[in-house]
Structure 1
Amino acid sequence: MPEENARAAGRLWQAIDDNSLTPVPEEERKSGWYLSWLPAGIATSLLQLTIAGTITALVGSVLGLVAGALVGVFVMALGWLFGNIARVEGLSSTVLPRFYGLGLRGSAISSLAFGVMIIGLLASENVVLYHGTLFAFGWPDSTGNRVLIYGLLTLVWVLLSMFGIKMVTRTSSVLVVVFLCLLAYMTFRIYGESPVTLADAFTQASTSVVGSEEARFFTVVGMLGGQGGALILVNADYARYARGKGAVGGVSLTGVIMLDIVGIALGILVLTGGNKLVGDHLVASGQATPETAVAAAGALATHNTGAYFVILSGVLGFALMYVAQTKVQVLNVYSGALALSNLCYVLSGRHPNRLVMILVANAICLLMIAAGVFEKLSGFLSVLGIVIIGFIALAIADFYLVSRWRPRPPGVEVVNWAGVGTLAFASVVAYLLAETGVFPFGFVASTVIVLVVYPLVRLRFGPRPGAEEPAEAVAAR
């Protein structure tokens, strides 16, 4: 009996760990169809609709879709290249930089950047859910309600995230369909009950008066670029399970289409098209006047998307939205825990229990909510996107370019100083170029700088003899 209990505990730990620091075995590889539900789940969320509402307010519907398409092409190219490295090595997106670009200790940079990014998105989704819940029940924003709602949300995410990619995939595939069906019902109601037409929604002009149109467009592209960097890394966490290049391509393409095209289009359909009905509801319930109805509806579209579900689909629709939203939060926790697992290992040398990392990720999420990350989301995505896209480009340069002239050593460097130095240089220069307006697309600048500078520096100065750790470093591989 004790032996059976020990074996059961071992199987449970293995399911929870989910190859967090080790290569995915061949027998666990999946098809592209199976894996593509995961990025679809990430992209169909309340936060993505909120971002779509912000994009439309800043640049209008047409330019919003143009920005999404442009960024999508860029993200698709980098995502396929990086995802294929994950497939070949079988490693998660934050473990890969140990071997390509940053070295063992240097990969703490990539884990920290991605961990902060993905947990920040987790926190922002929780904030949107919280405000939607308050709107649905008419509750005030109080300390007691914050403890209750955020506490329950955290508990659900922990429980659903414990059992790795199998549970995540099962959750995502069903709930993507639920979410899309709910949006279809809301769209049918919007265009059946209001004088708004599809043409009106998709030609909506900007409603923002802050900054020039050019500056607002640059803000939107920077926001989407940072979000795209997170998508590339999340997709790589799934692509490590892929059986072939075609599956990697399917995962990357699905993520880009759903995030940068479908997500924005759904936001335009529901948020822009639904403004009239939402405004009428706010006036009828005494929450706005006829003169302020449009502005009040616009504020909900950019800060409280859940309210649209309450108004346009009733209590049942709100409940279905809540259930459907679990898919993206489970996926965010999943990737956040993977990033923290690598960060813990490279700093301490110990393989952490992923359950502990799930708990830590949710604890950090609560701290970020308290720090107001949602209110700083645009700048948060743009700045971190520069660093994240930079180390993605490092891995691509190392795998596809440098390895052609200099095979990678059998061990693992403690720190790849050529990569760390190039990433620091590219990130600072790209940030300064964006901030000064010389070249506003920081994530593009960091990519170009890395792809040009890193191969030259790496082939000239590294790796140094004796810089590898063949024993303990390769053990985690």
Structure 2
Amino acid sequence: MTQSELDETTTTTGRGPSPGAATRETLEDYTLRFAPRSYRRWSTGVVAVSALGGIAYLADFAIGANIGISYGTTNALWGIAVFAVVVILTGFPLAYYAARYNLDLDLITRGSGFGYYGSVVTNVVFATFTFIFFALEGSIMAQGLELGLGVPLWLGYAVSTLVIFPLVVYGMKALSTLQVWTTPLWLVLMVVPFAYLLISHPESVSAFFAYRGEDGAGTPDVGSVLLAAGVCLSLIAQIAEQIDYLRFMPPKTSENSRRWWTAVLLAGPGWVLFGAVKQVIGLFLAVWLIANATDGAAVANQPVHQFLEIYRDLMPAWLALTLAVVLVVISQVKINVTNAYSGSLAWTNSFTRVTGRYPGRLVFLGVNLAIALVLMEADMFDFLNTILGFYANCGIAWIVVVATDIAVNKYLLGLSPKQPEFRRGMLYAVNPVGFVSMLVAAGVSIVCFFGGLGETLQPFSPLVAIGLAFVLPPLLAVATRGRWYLRRADDGIDLPLLDEHGNPSDAVLTCHVCRQDYERPDMTACVTHGAHVCSLCLSTDRVGDHVLPAQA
């Protein structure tokens, strides 16, 4: 290992060379590796609030407005309900594994049917999610800056992108502080105007339920419900961003069991309850704007205008404009620091595994922001439903496959090891159970989405993705007898991986490559050198010198 690589894998504790910028950043985020108990010092409440702070985005308002305008209130509400049920069912097993074993979703995916290199494709899917929604949120922020400060949209896009970079540099510690302190103000700015509208304009409720869409043809229809659900389900990968916080949950014990479960359920799959409410509110405000505001139809799907019009009923115009801009800026900063943070982890993870080099997370933070800026400048708002509907098929396929592997293959069939494995050498390069299932589910549903299976089936592409992603993993696990999950069952270390409570062990071992101390779950034996090696040094071992041989 070269000196630069050694510096990149050194932590700020233990022995070794003085840490550089990349080293400090690696320690801050535990990029590519298990999050150790010694670092997880937040309470269950702080972790939950930090995770939920990341869903303060206004895209839900735009999504709710768009599907309501396209398909009418009734179809939109049923579509939102379908979305919520799917997210809760799939999000629970993922959130539990992340909080229990302190792993991000990529590390969980590796051992849940994809293999060490197979999960690279899901990392790309997730990275795509982060820059699509960064661009969507950045566009909303730019609209606010244009409305409140007269900043041209093209410049607003750049400002909304560049302001995020310094906030994400310092990782989880900075993000948790930002989320906790900004959440109360955000709640007040969002809830008060909606409550005022309900109280001062009660007739808006009946108008809301009677709304039938822009063409007036929004009668109840299964196809329209599923098309609306498909747009909403583009958010299914949000669970991966929730998990980027949940992996820092403290160990579960008998003393904190109730608090632990409450935090996991609320901040994990529970995020969708808040998201669904925001989508309904977004549609409600859009219907009110269309009926009551000048040029309301033209701006009904833009959250900044939705709130501005209500604020104007409450207070002087200058204060209304100020608060609308403040709400937009706070909301977009809260979510886009999470989008940028999670996206940089996903890109870095993929690059490191494929090339054996760790360039530092900040490199891919820049890449993710650059892609998002290009999308904003291309005015993605004009074709939002198409982008989200297309992406939903990929996101659904990934999340449902992993959730199915955990719930069915691990617990019902017993063909997948219950304890998630992520370390190189312990897994096969590719496991066909998850990898093939996802490619087939995503591919067929995308063909269906674009009408390749006929117009009748076109609205049902989300169901196609869900159905295939649920059925194929158990079938392939049975067909392969689960032999492609573990390349080795023994990592060569005598110490147990779990403590007496079933939590990952906090026993400390020293990596002989980077000469740093890490907790037991992050380590394997290195038979070549008769010592221990950490997961990141395994990832950057380009000749496989430290990788354990396959086990007969």
TM-score, scaled to structure 1: 0.83
Q: Answer yes or no: is the 8 Å Cα contact 1:56–1:204 preserved in 2.
A: no
CA distance in 2, matches of 1:273, 1:464: 55
Q: Answer yes or no: is the 8 Å Cα contact 2:114–2:431 preserved in 1.
A: yes
- State which of 177, 199, 203 in structure 2 corresponds to 1:170: 177
CA 1:168–1:106: 2 relative to 1, 3 Å: same
* 2:344 pairs with 1:345: no
- State which of 234, 238, 253 in structure 2 corresponds to 1:231: 238
Three-state SS of the structure 1 residue aligned to 2:106 is: coil
- State which of 188, 200, 206 in structure 2 corresponds to 1:200: 206
CA distance in 2, matches of 1:60, 1:412: 48
- State which of 281, 285, 298 in structure 2 corresponds to 1:266: 281
Q: Answer yes or no: is the 8 Å Cα contact 2:98–2:243 preserved in 1.
A: yes
Task: Return the letter of the residue paired with 1:21.
Answer: L
Aligned to 2:264: 248
Aligned to 1:395: 402
Matches within 5 A, 1:426-445: 426-434=441-449, 435=451, 436=454, 437-438=456-457, 440-445=459-464
TM-score, scaled to structure 2: 0.73
Matches within 5 A, 1:313-462: 313=311, 314-321=320-327, 322-403=329-410, 404-405=414-415, 407=417, 411-434=426-449, 435=451, 436=454, 437-438=456-457, 440-461=459-480
* 2:118 pairs with 1:120: no
Q: Answer yes or no: is the 8 Å Cα contact 1:336–1:361 preserved in 2.
A: yes
Q: CA deviation at 1:163?
A: 1.7
CA distance in 2, matches of 1:272, 1:211: 15
CA 1:406–1:152: 2 relative to 1, 3 Å: closer
CA displacement, residues 357-377 of structure 1 (integer Å, 9 cap, x when unaligned): 211211111122234433332
CA distance in 1, matches of 2:91, 2:198: 36
Task: Return the letter of the residue paired with 2:226.
Answer: F
Aligned to 1:286: none
Three-state SS of the structure 2 residue aligned to 1:21 is: coil
Q: CA deviation at 1:23?
A: 0.7
Aligned to 2:104: 92
Aligned to 2:58: 46
Q: Answer yes or no: is the 8 Å Cα contact 2:142–2:156 preserved in 1.
A: yes
CA distance in 1, matches of 2:158, 2:34: 34
Aligned to 1:186: 193
- Identity over aligned residues, as a percent? 20
CA displacement, residues 284-330 of structure 1 (integer Å, 9 cap, x when unaligned): xxxxxxxxx3xx2122122x322334444323203421234310111
CA 1:420–1:188: 2 relative to 1, 3 Å: closer
CA distance in 1, matches of 2:434, 2:53: 33
CA 1:397–1:363: 2 relative to 1, 3 Å: same
Aligned to 2:215: 209
Aligned to 2:299: 300
Q: CA deviation at 1:187?
A: 3.0
CA distance in 2, matches of 1:82, 1:232: 8
Structure 1 vs Structure 2 CA RMSD? 3.3
* 2:116 pairs with 1:104: yes
CA distance in 1, matches of 2:212, 2:203: 17
Of 455-464 and 214-223, more deviation after overlay is shown by 455-464
Q: Answer yes or no: is the 8 Å Cα contact 2:22–2:361 preserved in 1.
A: no
Structure with bigger gyration radius:
2
Q: CA deviation at 1:122?
A: 0.4
CA 1:379–1:95: 2 relative to 1, 3 Å: farther
Task: Return the letter of the residue paired with 1:61.
Answer: T
Aligned to 1:158: 165
Q: CA deviation at 1:189?
A: 5.2
Three-state SS of the structure 2 residue aligned to 1:158 is: helix
CA distance in 2, matches of 1:333, 1:397: 28
Task: Return the letter of the residue paired with 1:47.
Answer: A
Which sections of structure 1, spanning at least 5 residues, go unmatched?
Answer: 280-292
CA distance in 2, matches of 1:216, 1:456: 31
Task: Return the letter of the residue paired with 1:308.
Answer: Q
Q: CA deviation at 1:351?
A: 2.7
CA distance in 2, matches of 1:32, 1:352: 32
Aligned to 2:514: none
Q: CA deviation at 1:93?
A: 1.5
- State which of 82, 90, 109 in structure 2 corresponds to 1:70: 82
CA 1:33–1:432: 2 relative to 1, 3 Å: same
How many residue pairs get aligned? The number is: 449
- State which of 31, 34, 42 in structure 2 corresponds to 1:23: 34
CA 1:33–1:206: 2 relative to 1, 3 Å: farther
CA 1:44–1:323: 2 relative to 1, 3 Å: closer
Aligned to 1:284: none
Task: Return the letter of the residue paired with 1:85.
Answer: Y
Which sections of structure 2, spanning at least 5 residues, go unmatched?
Answer: 1-11, 253-259, 312-319, 492-523, 527-532, 540-552
Q: CA deviation at 1:334?
A: 1.6
CA 1:32–1:266: 2 relative to 1, 3 Å: farther
CA displacement, residues 421-457 of structure 1 (integer Å, 9 cap, x when unaligned): 2222222233344543337343343233233222232
- Tell me: higher relative CO, structure 1 or 2? Use CA pairs within 8 A at least 6 residues apart: 1
Of 155-164 and 172-181, more deviation after overlay is shown by 172-181
Task: Return the letter of the residue paired with 1:83.
Answer: A
Q: CA deviation at 1:24?
A: 0.9
Q: Answer yes or no: is the 8 Å Cα contact 2:51–2:246 preserved in 1.
A: no
CA 1:344–1:258: 2 relative to 1, 3 Å: same
